[in-house]
Amino acid sequence: MGRRRIAFFVPHMGCGRKCIYCDQNAITRGAGGHVTPETVADVVSAQRSPVELCFFGGSFARIGTPRMRAFLDVVCRAPEGSAVTFSSYPGDFDGDTGLETIRVLKNYPIATIELGIPTLDPVVLKICRRDDDPAAIMRAIERIRGNGFHLGVQMMAGLPRQTAESVTRDVKTLGSMMPDDVAWHFRLYPCLVLRGTELERMYRREEYEPLSLEEGIRAGGAAILEAERVGFAVIRVGLTESESLKKSVVAGPYHPAFGELAMSEKRALSLRSENPDGPWTIERRVLSQLTGHGGRGIRRLAEMSGISEREARDRLVVTAGFPSR
């Protein structure tokens, strides 16, 4: 599409009450100052080629129509071909208010609407103090899809009472709603215990046990594999590393290279599912998914196959071909 992405972080803008695990200030601190339509317009005025203005870290469709329009109007002053992407609550597109929001959005070039769908499990949603129930989420997706918008889903792994199986099941369910000719965007975040959140209090009271790093990686790898199988375009796994995030993490599957580690798990799982005992054919350009991080992928391949790492290496067939995913 040739659009340069410019991310604006709007921590908790429009969120109302916070979800128990969330602290966008910790996640996005240092990623920019206070964002207003005017500051966005300043950035846009310096652009000479199409841009994608991305509003992340809040519930964009919940900030009220006048303010939403003010932000969206800015894209009309950007170079032709520019568009807007934003993250929001699914429920913002449900009911009469949601219909009105859709009407507004149809007047603007919207690249992607990213929905925070941490899980489809109603019990987990409730514990996390999410406003939506699964039925509202499904209605929202149907409506967004029916109006021709491109969608992104932001899912999580390791929430209270959430299982790894339910994560992959949810990925499959959401994937089944995707049109055949489109790849919706997929992001997966491991649930971390961040300082000052309700989840931290639950953790301190021993009401919540976070995933270990290894559990998080395995859940992430399985989710990515399923996401690719059902046709999502996986664009992010793990939170963006930053000093403020590092300082805020109290517990949970935190690692600066979480995404790469989850990819190593996914690669091992996918090779095993294609051919349980090998040989395993892998293109050179993705070989590092097995050999990187101390050969974690090879180790998992060996462990899952009940053989030594040496044997697992011997069963690899490295090709120079064009990789599928």
The verdict on 19 binding ligand SF4 (CB under 6 A) reads yes
Sole window of 16-24, 29-37, 135-143, 244-252 interacting with ligand SF4 (rule: CB under 6 A): 16-24
Size of the site for ligand SF4 (CB under 6 A): 11
Any contact of residue 190 with ligand SF4 (CB under 6 A)? no
Stretch touching ligand SF4 by CB under 6 A, among 10-18, 64-72, 140-148, 223-231: 10-18
- Site for ligand SF4 contains 138 (CB under 6 A): no
Q: Buried b vs exposed e over 298-324: b needs ≥16 C-beta within 10 Å?
A: bbbbbeebeeeeeebeebbeeeeeeee
Which residue lies nearer to ligand SF4 by CB, 18 or 106? Answer: 18
Report which residue type is found at 68: M
Query: Three-class SS of residue 322?
Result: coil
Is 15 a binding residue for ligand SF4 by CB under 6 A? The answer is yes
Starting at the edge strand found earlier in the chain, the sheet holding 51-56 runs: 4-9, 51-56, 83-88, 110-116, 151-157, 185-190, 233-237
CA torsion 6-31-224-268 (nearest 10°) is 120
Helices in 157-257 by DSSP H: which ranges?
164-175, 198-204, 213-229, 243-248
Q: Which helix (H) or strand (E) holds 287?
A: none
Q: Considering only residues 28, 58, 110, 264, which one is a binding residue for ligand SF4 as defined by CB under 6 A?
A: 58
> Measured from the CB of residue 67, what is the shortest distance to ligand SF4 in angstroms?
16
Residues in Cβ contact with 311 at an 8 Å cutoff, skipping those fewer than 6 apart: 302
Examine residue 192 and tell whether it contacts ligand SF4 (CB under 6 A): no
* Minimum CB distance to ligand SF4, residue 59 (Å): 5
Applying the rule CB under 6 A, the residues between 92 and 131 that interact with ligand SF4 are 116
Among 3, 8, 9, 24, binds ligand SF4 (CB under 6 A): 24
239 neighbors 182 (Cβ within 8 angstroms): no
Least distance in Å: CB of 58 to ligand SF4? 6
Minimum CB distance to ligand SF4, residue 116 (Å): 5
Instruction: Report H helices in the chain.
Output: 24-28, 37-45, 65-75, 95-105, 122-127, 134-146, 164-175, 198-204, 213-229, 243-248, 258-274, 288-305, 309-314
Please say which residue, 116 or 210, places its beta carbon nearer to ligand SF4. 116
Considering the complex, what minimum distance in angstroms separates the CB of residue 187 from ligand SF4?
12
- Chain residues binding ligand SF4 by CB under 6 A are 12, 15, 18-19, 22, 24, 57-59, 89, 116
